[in-house]
Amino acid sequence: MTERINYKFVSLGLLALLLVLLILHVHGGRFTLDPSSLWKSIFNFSDDDQQLIIFRELRIPRSFMALVAGIGLSIAGLLMQTLFNNPLAGPSVLGITSGSSLFVAITMLSGIPFFTSDLGIVSTALIGAVVFSLIILFFSLFVKSQISLLLIGMMLGSFTSAIIQILQTTTHANQLKAFTLWGFGSLQQVSFDQIPLILTVLLIGIISLVYLIKPLNLLVIGERPTRLLGVRIGAFRILIIAVTAIFAGLITAYCGPISFIGLAVPNIVRMLYKTQDHLQLIIGCALAGACTLLICDLLVLWFEPYFLLPLNGVTALFGSPIVVWIILKKF
């Protein structure tokens, strides 16, 4: 009973915080706008009104992507940590984000029209995430040490960085500039018209979680007992990788590589919720992840009049101390 009350209390608190942060974020920026223009920009848009244009083309897509990226990366990190039984696992640490970045680099720097389209970038980002997830899964079958698996993930990241650097030396200046800016991480690379596609892909990943909750709860007690209880471990692993790839690939394609959110947030949520029920943890990660990324991007918005903060730098400042704390606590 106490755990249930605690779960509801924490979730309602995070939801309230999320609503406040979302209001602050959508009204943040250099220009002060009339709040009533927000609804008009969605349901009664006119390109003759400057306030409606700012809301529709800048504020709403940016706030939407903060929600999407925070939710997707946090849930992806939770799935990786449960699958590998490792609190330091995550899309960025295990090289999944790096794989997605590599494939996006190939598409953006190739100059081929299909690859530079929205569908081309998203497709290749998803493929890159899947390929590198499978590589990590393959190594996990032979490497039993958590530290060794993390080192392999770091080496995969170094390997992709080397290939990307080679590609950058042979590409056109305009393409190189676009890719460099993309690599800083930003929530402002999405237009209002792209929201339906992004939302559709995100919902596919979220709906797929329904089939993972029970096996994830069983996996906590160990892989062998989970297999004895009738779970097909091979198919289960592939499904986790597919869902993780959907989240990581989608966000990397549209926002660039955003680090530490998928690593830090699931550990914070476990500490707050004090449970291994993955339904509660997924809800908590979605709420806490969205709040965290909104806070990070609010800092970017507030400092924008003075200097431009890269989103990746802000998330690293948030996540690095938490990683150190996890290492000191777990190892």
How many CA atoms lie less than 13 Å away from 229 in the CB half-sphere? 13
276: CB partners within 8 A, 6+ apart: 217, 220
- Cα–Cα distance for residue pair 124/144, rounded to 1 Å: 31
Q: Structure pTM?
A: 0.88
Query: In this structure, what DSSP letter does residue 284 have?
Result: H
Q: Which of 234, 295, 257, 221 is nearest to 76 (CA)?
A: 257
- Cα–Cα distance for residue pair 275/308, rounded to 1 Å: 39
- Cα–Cα distance for residue pair 229/175, rounded to 1 Å: 52
Both structure tokens of 45: 């848009």
pLDDT of residue 275: 87
pLDDT of residue 305: 79
pLDDT of residue 292: 95
Long-range contacts of 303-306 (CB under 8 A, 24+ apart): 304/29, 304/30, 305/30
pLDDT of residue 83: 84
pLDDT of residue 146: 66
Do the Cβ atoms of 136 and 149 come closer than 8 Å? yes
Q: Reduced to 3 states, what is the DSSP secondary structure of residue 257? A: coil
pLDDT of residue 116: 59
Among 1.10.3470.10, 3.40.640.10, 2.30.110.10, 3.30.530.20, what is the CATH number of 60-330?
Answer: 1.10.3470.10
- Cα–Cα distance for residue pair 218/240, rounded to 1 Å: 14
| All structural domains of the chain with their residue ranges | 60-330
195: CB partners within 8 A, 6+ apart: 60, 61, 64
Return per-residue pLDDT of the chain as tens, 331 residues.
455 557 788 999 999 999 999 999 998 877 777 777 777 777 777 777 788 888 888 888 999 999 999 999 999 999 988 888 888 888 877 778 888 888 888 877 766 655 556 677 777 888 888 888 888 888 877 776 767 777 888 888 888 888 888 887 877 777 777 777 777 778 888 888 888 988 998 999 999 998 889 888 888 877 777 777 777 877 888 888 888 888 988 898 888 888 889 889 999 999 898 888 999 999 999 999 999 999 999 999 888 878 888 888 889 888 888 878 877 776 5
- Cα–Cα distance for residue pair 195/193, rounded to 1 Å: 6
pLDDT of residue 111: 63
A 10 A CB-CB count for 199 gives: 12
- Cα–Cα distance for residue pair 297/315, rounded to 1 Å: 9
Phi, psi of 117 (to 5 degrees): -80, 165
**Packed helices 278-303 and 261-273: angle between N→C axes, nearest 10 degrees:** 130
Both structure tokens of 248: 């990581």
Do the Cβ atoms of 82 and 71 come closer than 8 Å? no
pLDDT of residue 20: 95
